[in-house]
Amino acid sequence: MLYAPPIARLVEELSKLPGIGQKTAQRLTFHLLKVPPEEARALAEAIVEAREKVAFCARCFNFAQGELCEYCSNPRRDPSLVCVVERPQDIVAVERTGEFRGLYHVLGGAISPIDGIGPEDLKVRELLERVRKEGVSEVIMATNPRVEGEATAAYLANLLKPLGVKVTRIASGLPVGGDLEYADEVTLGRALKGRLEL
């Protein structure tokens, strides 16, 4: 036995976190044993509080502290624009741009037959319902630009267009600050196809 049981337990729990291996878990454990007790307790409490107070927004399935998330409950956001993302953290990325003032819809993933994820596992029915009832004029597909995200965007577009709503897809292309020399051919191909007039 290398550690006293409470130490071993903390190492084990920390190593369950994604990207945290045995070594890092050990380092974090020894850190938490060393810091002032109130600092360790603050972390423990933050974990419990987050789980107790945070649930899913009833409208868009973002994380929310009340029934609706901060975007859905904000009257200054434009409800006629809906940005569809795979996961709540994607909302944070979109918000950081400062370019979007509409609402969101979190699918909870992307269609992926390999992982056994079909449309019925995602919030697809709820999206169609929103578009029908909430006077949505445009749905922006901001799923990840990978096979699964593209397939999901195409699948949803087919369902949404008959409802008379505009469906758009975020652009793929070279990252700002990127280098043509090092761009992969698929990305550069997309950048060419999606060229804009100057």
- Which positions touch a second copy (CB under 8 A)? 1-7, 9-10, 12-14, 16-20, 24, 26-33, 37, 39-54, 63-65, 69-70, 87-89, 92, 95-96
Using DSSP bridges, classify how beta strands 63-64 and 55-56 pair: parallel, antiparallel or unpaired: antiparallel
Give me the least distance between CB of 52 and a second copy, in Å please.
8
Query: For residue 145, what are the contacts with CB-CB under 8 A and spacing of at least 6?
Result: 170, 172
Question: 3-state DSSP helix/strand/coil percent for the chain, to nearest 5?
Answer: 50, 15, 40
Tokens matching residue 164: 């008379």
CA distances to 50, 98, 100, 160, 169 from 151, rounded to whole Å, are 33, 27, 23, 14, 12
Give me the least distance between CB of 165 and a second copy, in Å please.
28
Backbone angles phi, psi at 104, to 5 degrees: -120, 165
Give me the least distance between CB of 170 and a second copy, in Å please.
19
Give me the least distance between CB of 11 and a second copy, in Å please.
9
Paired with 76 in beta bridges are none
Q: Which is nearer to a second copy, 47 or 192 (CB)?
A: 47
Q: Which is nearer to a second copy, 12 or 129 (CB)?
A: 12
Give me the least distance between CB of 132 and a second copy, in Å please.
28
Q: Which is nearer to a second copy, 12 or 134 (CB)?
A: 12
Q: Which is nearer to a second copy, 63 or 157 (CB)?
A: 63
Q: Which is nearer to a second copy, 3 or 125 (CB)?
A: 3
